[in-house]
């Protein structure tokens, strides 16, 4: 029976990663995540019968890659494979997700526990066999613990990137792409038409902007994703502005502690340790009320200002032009962060924000040059499947790959089934 790739999510959209590879009644499931509508209601991927899933491969613990996974464990225990750090941080992410969005989710805490208890830890460079599939994990460079997977099935070879970055950051070493072979590449195309500015320039601009606000007697709020971006910002501050008063709040705190127990997955562990030692963890509401009145930096979740302590801080700081709100995370359409950038308000009919507002490109996704470079590194490539990309971007990226590399390129939509022969 021929091998097929089923697009259950991330087809012509960013997020909701969910791809099944197999034939007949035996599939490997690559991620199983969610996206959110403009009312912040989670949208699940297309259904797959749990009894057809041989194993679940999780690239990393962001909700757009794991948010739907526990629903597979209502009646079955499917072997799941992920790195140790992903296994350790996933319960935090999913428990928080249940607290916020549990009303809309078809699973509860016991399914989260069943999912985590079904995990088999896989290290970078390690190979495992699951039925007729042979799987190998590689560093994806996205966030600590993120993995790409190579999959061999009979005469077929596939590389699934998940979310990938190709530069070194404070948190993550860049992937080693030398010698990778695959006939089929399934690659994200989030930034398939644009490049990010050099990271050192972004860091210097950020630090200089922070210093300017503080020297003027203001407070800088940095809303940031709790997993990855917050710790990256703390590491940058620890390296380039260690004597500034920095406080951090929200789920950022627990994830920082996990990272400090996961040294092998952190590029500049020394900077995270320095941040933990020098900077102040906000532990009470009394401290929250205090730090909004003292010049310094507050790093807090959530990154799009949809919830978490960042919302409290933003409302307290927005009315003073000496203060600043520096966004460092992707701002999805319809989110308060996007509204702040485009309209200068935090909520519909709300007051105009007087604080300085600026966005800094600390993306943990590769730009188009990095993505194209990855494609060119894969030996024996016959076809590329582009996922995790908005329609215009994905179509342009697909055309670029076709013209630059000369292989077949498929840009599928959700529900598509691609036959590999």
**Strand-by-strand arrangement of the 219-223 sheet:** 280-281, 246-249, 296-300, 219-223, 324-327, 356-359
pLDDT for the residue numbered 101: 95
Cis-peptide into 302, omega within 30 deg? yes
Rounded Cα gap, residues 331 and 33, in angstroms:
18
CA-based end-to-end distance of the chain: 8
Number of Cβ atoms within 10 Å of the Cβ of 270: 13
pLDDT for the residue numbered 38: 83
Among 19, 9, 25, 6, CA closest to 132: 25
pLDDT for the residue numbered 1: 63
Rounded Cα gap, residues 282 and 254, in angstroms:
12
| Domain edges within the chain | 4-194+364-419, 199-359
CATH superfamily entry for domain 4-194+364-419: Ribonuclease Z/Hydroxyacylglutathione hydrolase-like (3.60.15.10)
> Which CATH code is given to the segment(s) 199-359?
3.40.50.10890
Q: Is residue 203 within 8 Å of residue 177, measured between CB atoms?
A: no
Q: Spell out the residues 6+ positions from residue 104 whose beta carbon is closer than 8 angstroms to its own.
A: 41, 42
pLDDT for the residue numbered 332: 84
E-strand stretches of 291-372 = 296-300, 324-327, 356-359
Backbone angles phi, psi at 381, to 5 degrees: -75, 130
What is the value of pTM for the model shown? 0.96
Give mean pLDDT in consecutive 10-residue pieces for the chain, a chain of 421 residues: 92 97 93 93 96 97 98 94 98 96 96 98 97 96 98 95 98 93 97 97 98 98 97 98 97 97 98 97 94 96 94 96 96 90 91 97 97 97 97 98 97 97 75
């Amino acid at each position: 029976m021929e091998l097929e790739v089923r697009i259950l999510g991330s087809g012509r959209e960013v997020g909701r990663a969910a791809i099944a590879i197999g034939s007949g009644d035996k599939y490997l499931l690559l991620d199983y995540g969610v996206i959110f509508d403009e009312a912040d209601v989670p949208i699940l991927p297309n259904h797959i019968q749990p009894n057809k899933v041989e194993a679940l491969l999780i690239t990393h613990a962001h909700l757009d890659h794991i948010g739907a996974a526990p629903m597979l464990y209502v009646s079955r225990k499917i072997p799941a494979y992920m790195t140790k750090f992903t296994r350790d941080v996933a319960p935090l992410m999913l428990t928080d997700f249940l607290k916020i969005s549990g009303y809309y989710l078809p699973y509860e805490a016991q399914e989260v526990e069943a999912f985590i208890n079904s995990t088999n830890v896989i290290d970078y460079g390690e190979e495992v066999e699951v039925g007729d599939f042979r799987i190998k994990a590689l560093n994806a460079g996205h966030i600590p613990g993120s993995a790409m997977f190579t999959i061999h099935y009979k005469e077929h070879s596939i590389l699934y990137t998940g979310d990938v970055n190709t530069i070194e950051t404070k948190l993550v070493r860049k992937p080693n792409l030398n010698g990778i072979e695959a006939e089929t590449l399934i690659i994200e195309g989030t930034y398939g038409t644009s490049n990010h500015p050099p990271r050192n320039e972004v860091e210097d601009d950020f630090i200089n902007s922070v210093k300017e606000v503080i020297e003027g007697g203001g407070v800088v709020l940095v809303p940031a994703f709790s997993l990855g971006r917050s710790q990256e910002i703390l590491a940058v501050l620890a390296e380039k502005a260690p004597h500034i008063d920095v406080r951090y709040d929200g789920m950022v705190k627990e994830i920082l502690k996990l990272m400090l127990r996961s040294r092998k997955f952190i590029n500049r562990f020394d900077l995270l340790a320095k941040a933990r030692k020098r900077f102040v963890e906000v532990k009470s509401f009394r401290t929250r009320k205090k730090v909004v009145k003292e010049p310094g930096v507050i790093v807090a979740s959530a990154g799009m200002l949809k919830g978490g302590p960042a919302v409290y801080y933003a409302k307290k700081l927005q009315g003073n032009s000496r203060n600043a709100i520096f966004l460092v995370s992707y701002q999805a359409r319809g989110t308060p962060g996007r509204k702040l950038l485009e309209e200068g308000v935090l909520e519909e009919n709300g007051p105009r924000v007087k604080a300085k507002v600026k966005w800094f490109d600390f993306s943990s996704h590769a730009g188009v040059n990095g993505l194209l470079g990855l494609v060119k590194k894969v030996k024996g490539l016959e076809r590329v499947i582009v996922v995790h990309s908005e329609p215009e971007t994905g179509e342009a990226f697909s055309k670029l790959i076709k013209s630059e590399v000369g292989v077949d390129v498929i840009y599928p939509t959700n529900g598509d089934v691609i036959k590999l022969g």
